[in-house]
Structure 1
Amino acid sequence: MNKTILALLSILLLATSFQQPEIAYKARKVPAIIDKSVKARIDATLKSFVDSGKIAGVSALIFEKNKEVYYNAFGHADREAKIPMDRNTIVRIYSMTKPVTGVALMQLYEKGAFQLDDPLAKYLPEFADMKVYKGVDAAGNLILEPAKRPITIRDITRHTAGFATSTNLPGLSDLVKQADVMNPANTLSEMAKKLAGLPLEFHPGEQWAYGPSVDVQAYLVERISGKPFDQYLQENIFNPLGMTNTRYVVPASDRQKFAGMYRRSTEGQLTRVPDDENTYNIKNWPLKPGGFGLTSTLDDYMKFARMLVNKGKSGKATILKPETIKLMATNHLAESITERMWLPSKGQVGFGIDFAVRLRPPFTKEENNGVVGEFFWDGAASTLFWVDPVNEVTAVLFVQVMPFYGQLHKRFRDAVYGEYLPK
């Protein structure tokens, strides 16, 4: 056999050796995440929080590869009225409204209505020529400087716009209180005008700071689409997905299914929030914010989550293109943005378009567990959802307790994936 043939055979064998692992990988059956033992572990975990009196009630729903693999509920939606938590319980999802708003905005992006790095003022001129707070002088007057660059639409999708929210900055905090930007009597237009009248807390793009950015997104959707924001959501997201129980205002006919809200003291005692202190969702206020305010049921929000894991599709409905979902679930925070408020408490994450995005496995067993590539968000009353595209898992956890109860999320995630043990 001559040298030429031997050389060709060697190349062929080498190429085959690289292909074999890929063929073996494709043939390998990936085990299910949610099996009988995991279901029992989730049950025990959620029940323990109710039995210990840490929460009044909780429910969870999980789909894996487009099949329902877990549902259960424990405790009460309304402890005092002895109404059990169940599948039809309506809860306040607070900031889990934000991903819904992000999807609405990105539908308009797909139509070519804007680019992410366009100046926000191109569409909302209220936000032109913004000034940045630098402190106060000896007389207590604000020291301001021009923003180094305009706020972009990307900034409002990733919380880097610099909007003022602090209550402990001399001079600026008083202005924030006086503006009362998120007063429910404001329309989105009035909210935006008041917000734009405040100095920024930092230059756009220099920090990650949670605030009213997504409410500005809602106003942008309203301005570009020409429709009231709640109407836009109904026509373009809720109706196509069959989300019949997701809305800002819970009608009187459904109030019996509306969960009570509970406050947990530092000693662990639960107190029901009086209904007259929590009227946002039982009165039709002018403000329809993008950052909070929606109510939903487990099954309704799961329809939204499954649309995301299915790359923008749900049955015959196409809500977004696959490449848009990928863009939303990609980290948009540069490593140079080191000031990130409390975002690091979510684990090894960056931030995409209205989602946290998991970049690395946990470094310690105390951190929130999850799969690299997962995207997720939660709500002030301790609700949670995530999309795990690697395993095609979507999970929704509903509870109504304040302040935010991160330990419940930690334990729920560990119950689903198993406690993470660092290498």
Structure 2
Amino acid sequence: MVLNRSGILYLGVLTLFLSACNEPVNQNFIVNEEVKSRIDSTLQSYVNTGNVGGVSALIFENDKEVYFNAFGFADRENQKPMDRETLVRIYSMTKPITGTALMQLWENGKFDLDDPLEKYAPEFSGMKVYEGVDENGEMILVDADRPISIRDITRHTAGFPNRNDIPGLSEIMAEVDARSFENTLTVMAEKMGRTPLWFHPGTQWEYGLSVDVQAFLVERISGQPYGEYLRANVLDPLGLDETKYYLPEDERDRLAVAYTRTGEGQLEPTPDSIANRFNFNKWPLTPGGFGLVSTIDDYMTFARMLARKGEINGTRILEPETIELMATNHLPDSITERSWLPSKGRVGFGIDFAVRTEAPQRAEEINGIPGEFFWDGAASTLFWVDPKNDLVAVLFVQLFPYDGIGLHKNFKDAVYGKFVPEE
């Protein structure tokens, strides 16, 4: 289902009406003492086996904290425990924060989701689409069937290439290097606009640089540098003082080590020159798709704002109807090519979140409740909002490659109980 501003009012009124007419869905807490013990043993087991250095989890239910615990070390080599003060790199969990900034401008009537991106960013006009290479290895390019829409950049259907194995096109991407930290968002957009799309807009789901373009669009429409807009309109109003791109020297001892798992029970610290290159320097690039560090409490405040329909601690960041729109699946059934998105479960995609459309049907699938919206990060972090049970969870860890150990599945099984298919 695809909604625009004209349809969202009805959705919001209907939601408020149903909320008023029905008692709360969650009469009994999911996270009881048995569940807490199950979560503890699950997370501790990953530390005991040497497959994570440290891990922490925080859960709110009915808008009250019902679980927090931390296991292992933020820095195993120096025996620094993982705790509530630990900072982690949230990577793609930056994306929903960027989407929040963008949708503030949507609420203010600055654009419509189905507006062509080129209306505000002529850098993306006249886009060409890649159709392979000829016998000489030259790219075959055609005109895009339609312009990229803003909706496309919120749901990853814009067509931006994001792989290193596309003959001809991947070489161009590497040469252009749009996401170089040395680029401003404007330079990034100019370079992306000169790079052919991998597919026609609206025809596939492919993760990539779309949310960096959202940050550029916020900057272009608001007239403010993106980092300043984000700080003034999202981070500071929410009190997210620990959430930032650049980490000052006096706070770096709280940043968790990023570990690379090289085998069963084998972890290697990622060198600072790689893990901290972005956050220990002030770069021209302020990406929308990655780059923030945060604490588990900061990120929970952001997630609770979403669960509370855009308001927390007396501060409204977005209207309830906007949160409903963001947490609605925007992928039509016609978009069947969805890369690895199905590995997240039976999901669609809203505005910078995956949206669960069906319950799991096999025990091997990742657990979850229909209506849940969530996302994760490259270092295996995770958060989700479960509106049916009024439950919000944040999982922090710093592990590469991304969750190759079943951490997310086992954590969700610990919270909800293992899914048992009906016979």
Same fold (TM over 0.5): yes
Write the distance in 1 (CA, Å) between the matches of 2:316 and 2:26: 29
* One of 322, 326, 330 as aligned partner of 1:328: 326
Given that 2:25 and 2:389 are in contact with CA atoms closer than 8 Å, whether structure 1 keeps it comes out as no
Per-residue Cα deviation, 1:204-236 (whole angstroms, up to 9, x for no partner): 000000000000000000011111111111111
Given that 2:31 and 2:415 are in contact with CA atoms closer than 8 Å, whether structure 1 keeps it comes out as yes
- What's the CA shift for 1:31? 1.2
Match of 1:142 in 2: 139
Inter-CA distance 28–304: structure 2 relative to 1 (3 Å threshold): closer
Amino acid of the residue matched to residue 359 of structure 1?
A: T
SS of match in other structure, 1:100: helix
Write the distance in 2 (CA, Å) between the matches of 1:377 and 1:73: 21
- What's the CA shift for 1:277? 2.2
Write the distance in 2 (CA, Å) between the matches of 1:195 and 1:311: 34
Q: Which runs of 5+ in 2 are unaligned?
A: 1-18
Given that 2:372 and 2:387 are in contact with CA atoms closer than 8 Å, whether structure 1 keeps it comes out as yes
Given that 2:311 and 2:317 are in contact with CA atoms closer than 8 Å, whether structure 1 keeps it comes out as yes
Given that 2:49 and 2:265 are in contact with CA atoms closer than 8 Å, whether structure 1 keeps it comes out as no
Per-residue Cα deviation, 1:312-339 (whole angstroms, up to 9, x for no partner): 0012110000000000000000111010
SS of match in other structure, 2:201: coil
Write the distance in 1 (CA, Å) between the matches of 2:23 and 2:161: 51
Write the distance in 2 (CA, Å) between the matches of 1:380 and 1:350: 20
Match of 1:372 in 2: 370
Write the distance in 1 (CA, Å) between the matches of 2:250 and 2:184: 26
Match of 2:199 in 1: 202
Given that 2:368 and 2:412 are in contact with CA atoms closer than 8 Å, whether structure 1 keeps it comes out as yes
Write the distance in 1 (CA, Å) between the matches of 2:21 and 2:129: 57
Per-residue Cα deviation, 1:255-313 (whole angstroms, up to 9, x for no partner): 11111110011444100011122211111111110000000000000000000000000
Match of 1:381 in 2: 379
Write the distance in 2 (CA, Å) between the matches of 1:80 and 1:205: 47
SS of match in other structure, 2:183: coil
Amino acid of the residue matched to residue 418 of structure 2?
A: E
Per-residue Cα deviation, 1:313-366 (whole angstroms, up to 9, x for no partner): 012110000000000000000111010000000001000000000000001111
The runs of at least 4 aligned residues of structure 1 exceeding 4 Å deviation read 22-25
Match of 1:417 in 2: 416
Per-residue Cα deviation, 1:102-147 (whole angstroms, up to 9, x for no partner): 0000000000000000000000000001010011111222111000
Q: Which runs of 5+ in 1 are unaligned?
A: 1-21
* One of 32, 37, 43 as aligned partner of 2:34: 37
Matches within 5 A, 1:175-190: 175-190=172-187
Aligned residues: 402
Amino acid of the residue matched to residue 302 of structure 2?
A: F
Inter-CA distance 86–213: structure 2 relative to 1 (3 Å threshold): same
Match of 1:110 in 2: 107
Match of 1:408 in 2: 407
Write the distance in 2 (CA, Å) between the matches of 1:172 and 1:316: 49
Amino acid of the residue matched to residue 298 of structure 2?
A: D
- What's the CA shift for 1:165? 2.0
* One of 273, 282, 302 as aligned partner of 1:276: 273
Amino acid of the residue matched to residue 76 of structure 1?
A: F
Write the distance in 1 (CA, Å) between the matches of 2:254 and 2:377: 19
- Greater Cα offset, 94-103 or 249-258: 249-258
SS of match in other structure, 2:279: helix
* TM-score after normalising by structure 1: 0.93
- What's the CA shift for 1:173? 1.4
Write the distance in 1 (CA, Å) between the matches of 2:21 and 2:326: 32
* One of 377, 388, 391 as aligned partner of 1:390: 388
- Greater Cα offset, 289-298 or 257-266: 257-266
Inter-CA distance 139–297: structure 2 relative to 1 (3 Å threshold): same
Match of 1:347 in 2: 345
Given that 2:26 and 2:390 are in contact with CA atoms closer than 8 Å, whether structure 1 keeps it comes out as no
* One of 57, 60, 66 as aligned partner of 2:57: 60
- Greater Cα offset, 334-343 or 23-32: 23-32
Write the distance in 2 (CA, Å) between the matches of 1:148 and 1:100: 31
Match of 2:72 in 1: 75
- What's the CA shift for 1:180? 1.0
Write the distance in 1 (CA, Å) between the matches of 2:246 and 2:293: 8
Matches within 5 A, 1:214-253: 214-253=211-250
* TM-score after normalising by structure 2: 0.93
SS of match in other structure, 1:409: helix
Write the distance in 2 (CA, Å) between the matches of 1:114 and 1:28: 35
Amino acid of the residue matched to residue 280 of structure 2?
A: I
Match of 2:88 in 1: 91
Write the distance in 2 (CA, Å) between the matches of 1:342 and 1:78: 31
Given that 2:26 and 2:389 are in contact with CA atoms closer than 8 Å, whether structure 1 keeps it comes out as no
- What's the CA shift for 1:250? 1.0
Write the distance in 1 (CA, Å) between the matches of 2:45 and 2:136: 56
Q: Identity percentage over the alignment?
A: 60
Amino acid of the residue matched to residue 289 of structure 1?
A: P
- What's the CA shift for 1:183? 1.0
Q: Are 2:43 and 1:46 aligned? A: yes
